[in-house]
A and B are shown apart, each in its own frame.
Chain A
């Protein structure tokens, strides 16, 4: 009987404290953090990045199929305007899709700004690059005009500058790139960079960015470390991009591969 009384007492105290809400939060009570939010209401950078960017640019901005965004060098190299354009309108003809709601994407303008400021806040290290003279983001310092001409046609709007020269680029290539990409660019340990199929999927700006910033996450060199102690000059960067871009497939060649594709299909069907 005594045990019953104690039991009743404990139960009563628990009940009263529970009903008056003066105890600590019960584990089942939903928190604000668990509250469902519409995708357009998300304002947390980590969540925005994880949902929209991590697929291609890698978890935490590194080791993805596309270039790493968690790279202080890249973030110093690229302008806010270029980032904004690339995220909102995409890079037509490449695998970078448009994210702005105005062109059918999923992010609001405000969220795009949050992504840009978030990347800069978390991953920028301007101090590390003090005193380093970076090549300009686009050729001759001209900002990228990314007006999509057609979604299916590659965006080659960043044409090699008037002064760039593929012939000179071939020479620069032998100096800086041939060690990994092979003498003619078609192989070596790092794989072909003159494969027309590859070139059809990247813009000249993309080539330029890769030449300048490399891929630090994969241990690939930037413009300073291709030949240690001998950085590429702006002119050499322009020229190498012009030389690589020269190998891009022409329209005729594309139609040939289309036929090949069809042939493969018809063979398979048989």
Chain B
């Protein structure tokens, strides 16, 4: 029996060369130093990708890529299908882990100088994979087809629409028509399910092939420089002297890490659950504050906080500059030191980028992209701003709500954040300045002159004049006191007028 099975196995092996393939891949020799805990992120990303493929296929069995049914098919998964929510959660957390671990891989490769000669193409294919993964994240977010998806896509289309001359054509191609509709969803479904995953599989093959042919980067040692003439010889010498087979020696840590990743994804999925869907994608529902997933939150933060005059320039040039720099990394510094201990600039730039992205992500969590559309009926005026106020001032507080000022300006922490908070506005602006600001607006604030009658303006300003801390007095117009003084001493005023006339 066993003999027969062995014969069958050998027969197959003789025809498809499985053992040779194994010897050439898993069995190939790698530097002993590369069996390090720092080298596990690449395989971790690949494990995430495989989880995404499996869960993605399962999701595709239920998901209906049509504008009218996408949302309800997700609700079906969440609330009716047994463990459907878990499947969605696995796919969602798989994507979060994939982006995070991929970034760790990128940072490790950068800090260890693994992009230097002769592994430039490995780096470049990795950058393409990074872009593809971010593309998967964005298109996946669109497939959720809820309010976040709708407005996220709207923002993306609006940015593409700013491209000179070709803008409208690009938007048309992106959305499959002038508006976000069923065709849009079909496009993004095709991208998410066929085009980008296919590209990823192809590029991953190239990426792994390069790892095999050019070898895994040896653990950087300070003072051991990369020299184009001698590097390959030195590397092969090291392999001969101190190489270990990739399987099972070097791969063991990868396998442990992959197991932890899997546990992490299952744990997060079970504990935190799936994302959304958050509301039907109906543009007539304005009571929404769409937010992208965390990997685009920094971008959301940047876009909502940058000054308006920079918008077009930055949107149309920054992506190309950033991506261009990523591609150019192996050509900027191709030889020399690999160790991060001798590359302070590399370490500092990683820290700098990390801090910048971290801060923007943090800001993005509450960046005031849109007004708080429900604040006018839901955000109550703090009680201490109403106590001891006159009937007119309390009416002013009502005008503040009824005219929806509170949708953009917060009081006591409640309300929108589009405009400055008005808790202490009386210390910044005099009554006249408040009237002018309300009637004429300025900057991003619209003019309300036509929407308020004089009584409403008076009441509103009377209320705002009470908004200052007890220890600070409200702003005053210095010319008023001059005027009053002049009126008290008419002789002096006359003399002044005389002087002026002279």
Q: Which residues of A contact B (CB under 8 A)?
A: 18-19, 21, 26-30, 32, 35-36, 38-39, 50-56, 58-59, 63-66, 95-97, 152, 190-193, 195-198, 200-202, 218, 249, 254, 257-258, 260-261, 264-265, 267-269
Contacts and interface: CB of A to CB of B under 8 A. Distances in A.
Contacts of A32: 79
The bracket for how many chain B residues form the interface is 35 or more
Nearest to A262: B439
A18 to B, nearest CB: 8
A111 B389 CA distance: 33
Give 3 nearest A-B pairs by CB, closest first: A191-B390, A28-B273, A65-B397
Interface stretch (B207-215, B237-245, B416-424, B451-459): B451-459
A258 B454 contact: yes
A264 B270 contact: no
A191 B86 contact: no
Main secondary structure of the interface of B (DSSP, over half): helix
B295 to A, nearest CB: 20
Contacts of B285: 38-39
Q: Which of A26, A190, A193, A261 has the most CB of B within 10 A?
A: A261
A61 B188 CA distance: 47
Given A28-B89, A95-B399, A197 B459 contact: yes
Contacts of A257: 454-455, 458
Contacts of A53: 377
Given A191-B391, A198-B395, A30 B381 contact: no
19 contacts: A26-B273, A35-B79, A51-B374, A55-B378, A55-B379, A55-B380, A56-B377, A58-B380, A63-B383, A65-B386, A65-B401, A95-B395, A192-B390, A197-B392, A198-B455, A254-B453, A261-B457, A268-B432, A269-B436
Interface stretch (B216-224, B275-283, B305-313, B345-353): B275-283
Contact of B435 (A50, A152, A191, A265): A265
Interface of B: 75, 78-79, 82-83, 85-86, 89, 146, 269-274, 276-280, 285, 287, 374-381, 383, 386-387, 389-395, 397-399, 401-402, 406, 432-433, 435-436, 439-440, 453-459, 462
Nearest to A268: B436
A21 B270 contact: no
A28 B269 contact: yes
Contacts of A63: 380, 383, 386
Given A28-B270, A29-B85, A65-B398, A54 B374 contact: no
B302 to A, nearest CB: 28
Contacts of B394: 65
Contacts of B287: 39
Nearest to A181: B391
A30 B378 contact: no
B277 A56 contact: no
A249 B439 contact: no
B392 A195 contact: yes
